[in-house]
Amino acid sequence: MKFIAKKSQIVEALQNAAAVAERRQTIPILANLRIKAHKGSVEVTATDLEIQIQVSSEVVSTEEEGETTVSARKMSELCRSLPDNEEISFNLSGGKLTVASKGFHADFSTISADDFPELEISEEQTSSLIGASVLKRILIKTSFSMASQDVRYYLNGLLLEFDNNEIKGVATDGHRLALASSKLENKEGLQLKQILPRKAVLELSKLLPQSEEAVELNVGASYFSVKSGNLQFSTKLIDGKYPDYKKVFPSGDPSSLKIEKEKLQLALSRASVLSNEKYRGVRFALSEGSLKLTANNPEQESAEEVLDVDYTGVPMEIGFNIGYLLDVLGSVETKDVELVFYGEDSSCIIKEPSSESEVYVIMPMRL
């Protein structure tokens, strides 16, 4: 294998693939990238046996076709550190991959590509087109609410639901829930529910372009893949039954509070300094036109702040986790934010005023 590529042609493919490669190295080849040169292009593949990324890029020239695997971390870091606009030559000889640029060369040890465990998807899949920015937005707006190491393994992922002409993303860790939705065109009859694993969601939300271009989704019983330009991303799905998220939404008589988002963010940030480091609780005391925030900790320290708000509901006191509130506020894009309360023992809904495309539910805390 022998080819020449400009840094700009290959470095992004190497970095994107390296993010997927298995870092714990329980199986050495999973820490490697497979690099395959053929007919004026190079294909870079990485997998951790659960997810796989394949990126193709054009190169300056291919003198000899072939393939090998090399350390993902070392190769991506090295190529990233080379000067911009440089041409880099790759030459596989005697089991070593030599990477050379003006005045520099390095020899990498390799493992044969014959041993590379590529994901093979043989099941029947349903295909659909969706705007890249639509899918990216749904993943970003919900992923922070996923659990990370919950024994309820199905919570360590994100539910992607296609319901006729609407797509929904839902994530919850049992204490909070995020839901984002978007209308789709010409998708009548499409009904799917699949759970994407946490790592796949986080990587895919970074890889998808922020553009209106359509990406191809292929969904089967146990695999999910996305094709976007020169990128193909595949993942195994979590096999489990996601809880009925609709039951999480509170009911009853709502009391709505509207406030400038940044004003509330700053107040919560100040309160968090003196909140309990373990539980990070803050108490809301609501009365007409007023919100009083109170936080304290075991060292007998406390913080209190009164804010003027648009609130005409019933007076109440209710506690929340400050971190959960700040996560949601960081996702809200409008100047103002709306909090809807259903009583002191019920969950709170947070959303952008006059919008239902993103809705967040936070359970109360006992303080």
Query: What is the DSSP annotation of 162-184?
Result: EETTEEEEEEE-SSEEEEEEEE-
Is 102 in contact with 133 (CB distance < 8 Å)?
no
Q: Give domain 2-115's CATH architecture.
A: Roll (3.10)
Residue 190 has pLDDT above 80, yes or no: no
Whether the per-residue pLDDT at 216 is higher than 90: the answer is yes
CATH of segment(s) 249-362: 3.10.150.10
- pLDDT at 25 (0 to 100): 67
Domain residue extents for the chain:
2-115, 126-247, 249-362
pLDDT digits (tens, 9 = 90+) for 124-177: 888 888 999 999 999 999 999 999 999 999 999 999 998 878 999 999 999 999
pLDDT for 44-75, tens place per residue? 999 999 999 999 999 999 999 999 999 999 99
Q: Which residues pair with 37 in a beta bridge?
A: 42, 66
Fold match between domain 2-115 and domain 249-362: yes
Topology of 126-247 in CATH? DNA Polymerase III; Chain A, domain 2 (3.10.150)
The Cα 316–Cα 253 span in angstroms is 13
Q: What is the pLDDT of residue 188?
A: 62
Indicate if the pLDDT at residue 265 is higher than 90.
yes
Q: How confident is the model at residue 120 (pLDDT cuts 50, 70, 90)?
A: confident
Q: What tens digit of pLDDT does each residue of 284-297 get?
A: 999 999 999 999 99
The residue-averaged pLDDT of 327-345 equals 97
Closest among 218, 227, 224, 228 to 236, alpha carbons compared: 224
What does DSSP assign to residue 207? Answer: H
